[in-house]
Structure 1
């Protein structure tokens, strides 16, 4: 499944926010790894991402985070969640964690260029 990502980065507060275009609200927000928060909707599908202290958490420059070409892929099975974030085709984040969030088996991509 592929959806359009709307993302923004605020250099002053060093905050990255991304959400699926056309989706409003969320059911829950989960800290999937050291400050990377994943929002899910009522059907337990991912619909937003929030990263505070983004340059530090993602270990990349503020200039990189200002680019608008962002892609986030999320793959889940009954055991693990795999989260990858790319900016300008550079992988800036890769997380593997336990899927204790009720997210169904999916292969999901949020892409700013979709």
Structure 2
């Protein structure tokens, strides 16, 4: 499993969560992997950022909990599927699986604020 440091922020007024991999700037393409969750990829089709609009509603979690600094995001892909999991303070708050129609290579990625 590849591990990277996550830098995350939550804007309570606009209810948006943004997470990016430390040291990675920008993205080439942005895919909506499920309602409200967007995954930014670099030119090698590797994840660089996550954007969640209406985050408290999409994740079904309080705005107070979204302000936590202890966030982990797991992204696992194979030729057929992409699995996205998000934990806050070691509690699974969201998980989804969708078809990998994005060209993301096989990977097992953990983006963690505590690395």
TM-score (norm 1): 0.99
Q: How many corresponding residue pairs? A: 114
Separation (CA, whole Å) in 2 of partners of 1:66 and 1:33? 22
Structure 2, unpaired ranges of 5+: none
Q: Say whether residues 1:36 and 2:37 are aligned partners.
A: yes
Separation (CA, whole Å) in 2 of partners of 1:108 and 1:25? 18
Separation (CA, whole Å) in 2 of partners of 1:93 and 1:45? 21
Structure 1, unpaired ranges of 5+: none
1:10-49 → structure 2 map (5 Å cutoff): 10-49=11-50
Separation (CA, whole Å) in 1 of partners of 2:49 and 2:26? 9
Separation (CA, whole Å) in 2 of partners of 1:88 and 1:63? 12
4+ residue runs of structure 1 moved beyond 2 angstroms?
Answer: none
Q: Map Cα deviations across residues 23-51 of structure 1 (whole Å, 9 max, x no partner).
A: 01101001100110000011000110000
Shift, 1:77, TM fit: 0.2
Separation (CA, whole Å) in 1 of partners of 2:23 and 2:111? 12
Q: Map Cα deviations across residues 40-78 of structure 1 (whole Å, 9 max, x no partner).
A: 011000110000110001100001100000000000000
2:74 partner SS: strand
RMSD: 0.5
1:86 partner SS: strand
Separation (CA, whole Å) in 2 of partners of 1:42 and 1:25? 10
Separation (CA, whole Å) in 2 of partners of 1:16 and 1:40? 17
Q: Which residue of 1 aligns with 2:102?
A: 101
